[in-house]
Amino acid sequence: MTENNTTDAALRLRHKRYASERRFNIYGIISIAVALGALCLLIGSMASKGWSAFQQTYIILEVELPRDDLAPQGKIDAETLRDVNYVSYLRKSLRTEIPGVKSRRDQRSLYKLLSSGATLGLQNLVLNDTKLIGQKIKFAAVASDDIDQLVKGNISAGKGGKVSKKQGDWVKKLTDAGKIEKRFNTNLFSNGDSREPELAGIWGATMGSLLTMFVTVLLSFPLGVAAAIYLEEFARKNRWTDLIEVNINNLAAVPSIVFGLLGLAVFLSFFGLPRSAPLVGGIVLALMTLPTIIIAGRAALGAVPPSIREAAIGMGASPMQVVLHHVLPLAFPGILTGTIIGAARALGETAPLLMIGMVAFIVDIPGSITDAATVLPVQIYLWADSPERAFVERTAAATLILLTFLILMNLVAVIMRKKFERRW
């Protein structure tokens, strides 16, 4: 009888235990599903909005390149080729394509179908291939951003909008004639920023980001690892090291804009370093990343089993040899992961860079760490703030590209960890 009772009680206890395990599993699955769902929603909305930015509308024109203008007396020289008024060729071609536009006003609005970048494109084409001179060529001219949006169906013509009724009709006519083409938007990947959305690209911001990251990692990785090793392996544990530890943890929680203010006050005002430069941005972000690397590094070093240290010390290894030969190789995957996560955070950081002038409008592609530059997240911020409709999709596209970089970095972190991981 009593035996039966205990079995019943044990059975009930077991059922309860199973039930609570099941419940816990379900909670876990729900929370992961919520997190994944949010991520998918973010990427999905960005992708659906930004996808169209990877295409750009072009107007295919038959352009005459008169030999008399481009090569007077049969001579071809670069200076003439640069000075020639290419716009007139494009306009002439457009007028033949759409005949009967007589008034000056109408003509001007007809010319507005083309982007100002089309002229530059034609010039480059001719400069690169002078054999074209004297021929009638097919040229894909970049359409202006409003026409681009019209073709993509984001806006409609007339009703006091950006595109007039007449322009809409012309575009329709061109489309029917097969003169409108959507092509892969190379400008987006090869250009710097521009006031014209159809010419604006992220290459300048990408270079800025790369240069800034270069400075950040170059500074924060060695400093962070050295600090972590010193604190974890060499420093005596006393009140001072406790104080330092608490302050490093505090530093990791300081809002990033504060680092920007520090950069402004110290590096720009006091040391007189150049404004808007990846050098200063990199230093500021390195200061911000440093605590993350130190904390991750210490955790990784602390996780190395003490028996390995004892074995090495017992073999007569010096403290430096213990760390370099045994502890650091084992802790390296963890340190690397911490560094990449810190760098990824720095890559997405905007606020501190606003303070040091990396928010300026910069058209040129930066070539060194002292050139004026902006970075991807700031570029996104700038575009998101622009009134043109065409910048909306470009903002989303730039966000997608930034996300791609972040995902790549995390992938690298995972691969590195797998590669360097050693079991003991």
Partner 1 sequence: MNMDNYIPATAKGAPAGMGIDPVATGEKNINMDGIEETTIKMSARNLDVFYGDKQALFGIDLDVPERSVTALIGPSGCGKSTFLRCLNRMNDTIDGCRVEGDIRIDQSDIYDRALDVVELRTRIGMVFQKPNPFPKSIYDNVAYGPKIHGLAQDREELDHIVTSSLEKAGLLKEVADRLESPGTGLSGGQQQRLCIARAIAVSPEVILMDEPCSALDPIATAHIEELIDELRENFTIVIVTHNMQQAARVSQQTAFFHLGILVECNSTGEIFTSPSDERTQGYITGRYG
> Min. distance of Cβ 340 from partner 1 in angstroms?
23
Hey, which residues between 316 and 335 contact partner 1 (CB under 8 A)? 316-318, 321, 325-326, 330
| Site residue total, partner 1 (CB under 8 A) | 22
Candidate list 104, 239, 418, 423; residue touching partner 1; CB under 8 A: 423
241 touching partner 1, by CB under 8 A:
no
Rounded-to-integer distance, Cα 111 and Cα 100, Å: 14
Q: What is the CA radius of gyration of the chain?
A: 31
Q: Return the number of the residue (178 or 316) whose C-beta is nearest partner 1.
A: 316
| Token pair 């060499």: residue | 234
Q: Which stretch binds partner 1 (CB under 8 A): 31-39, 82-90, 151-159, 308-316?
A: 308-316
Residues 6+ apart with CB under 8 A from 300: 228, 331, 332, 333, 334, 335, 337, 338
Cβ neighbourhood burial of 52 (10 Å; 0-12, 13-18, 19+): buried
Q: Return the number of the residue (316 or 387) whose C-beta is nearest partner 1.
A: 316
> Min. distance of Cβ 18 from partner 1 in angstroms?
36
311 touching partner 1, by CB under 8 A:
yes
Q: DSSP labels for 298-340?
A: HHHHHTS-HHHHHHHHHTT--HHHIIIIIIHHHHHHHHHHHHH
Q: Return the number of the residue (330 or 373) whose C-beta is nearest partner 1.
A: 330
> Min. distance of Cβ 331 from partner 1 in angstroms?
12
> Min. distance of Cβ 328 from partner 1 in angstroms?
13
- Based on DSSP, count helices (H) and strands (E) in the chain, helices before strands: 19, 3
How many CB atoms lie under 10 A from the CB of residue 35?
A: 10
Candidate list 236, 239, 418, 419; residue touching partner 1; CB under 8 A: 236
Candidate list 138, 418, 419, 422; residue touching partner 1; CB under 8 A: 422
Handedness of CA 359, 361, 366, 370 (dihedral sign): negative
Rounded-to-integer distance, Cα 104 and Cα 108, Å: 6
Rounded-to-integer distance, Cα 53 and Cα 71, Å: 38
Q: Identify which of 219, 189, 222 has the alpha carbon closest to the alpha carbon of residue 206.
A: 189
Q: Identify which of 148, 146, 122 has the alpha carbon closest to the alpha carbon of residue 69.
A: 122
Contact 138, 60 (CB under 8 A): yes
Candidate list 131, 314, 418, 419; residue touching partner 1; CB under 8 A: 314
Q: Which stretch binds partner 1 (CB under 8 A): 127-135, 160-168, 205-213, 313-321?
A: 313-321
Q: Return the number of the residue (235 or 406) whose C-beta is nearest partner 1.
A: 235
Q: Return the number of the residue (252 or 416) whose C-beta is nearest partner 1.
A: 416
**Would you state the structure tokens that stand for residue 70, as one six-digit string?**
């481009």
Q: Identify which of 241, 208, 234, 239 has the alpha carbon closest to the alpha carbon of residue 349.
A: 208
Rounded-to-integer distance, Cα 409 and Cα 217, Å: 13
Hey, which residues between 339 and 398 contact partner 1 (CB under 8 A)? none
Rounded-to-integer distance, Cα 100 and Cα 166, Å: 12
Contact 402, 236 (CB under 8 A): no
Q: Return the number of the residue (131 or 422) whose C-beta is nearest partner 1.
A: 422
Candidate list 101, 133, 313, 403; residue touching partner 1; CB under 8 A: 313
| Token pair 């990692």: residue | 217
Q: Which stretch binds partner 1 (CB under 8 A): 143-151, 281-289, 302-310, 364-372?
A: 302-310
Q: Return the number of the residue (32 or 315) whose C-beta is nearest partner 1.
A: 315
> Min. distance of Cβ 241 from partner 1 in angstroms?
11
Q: Return the number of the residue (309 or 345) whose C-beta is nearest partner 1.
A: 309
> Min. distance of Cβ 234 from partner 1 in angstroms?
11
Candidate list 1, 178, 307, 418; residue touching partner 1; CB under 8 A: 307
> Min. distance of Cβ 302 from partner 1 in angstroms?
14
Candidate list 312, 365, 380, 396; residue touching partner 1; CB under 8 A: 312
**Would you state the structure tokens that stand for residue 86, as one six-digit string?**
């290419």
Contact 335, 360 (CB under 8 A): no
Q: Which stretch binds partner 1 (CB under 8 A): 111-119, 312-320, 339-347, 384-392?
A: 312-320
Q: Which stretch binds partner 1 (CB under 8 A): 38-46, 66-74, 131-139, 315-323?
A: 315-323
Would you tell me the crossing angle of helices 203-229 and 376-384 to the nearest 10 degrees?
Answer: 140
> Min. distance of Cβ 332 from partner 1 in angstroms?
12
Which residues of this chain interact with partner 1, rule CB under 8 A?
Answer: 236-237, 305, 307-318, 321, 325-326, 330, 422-424
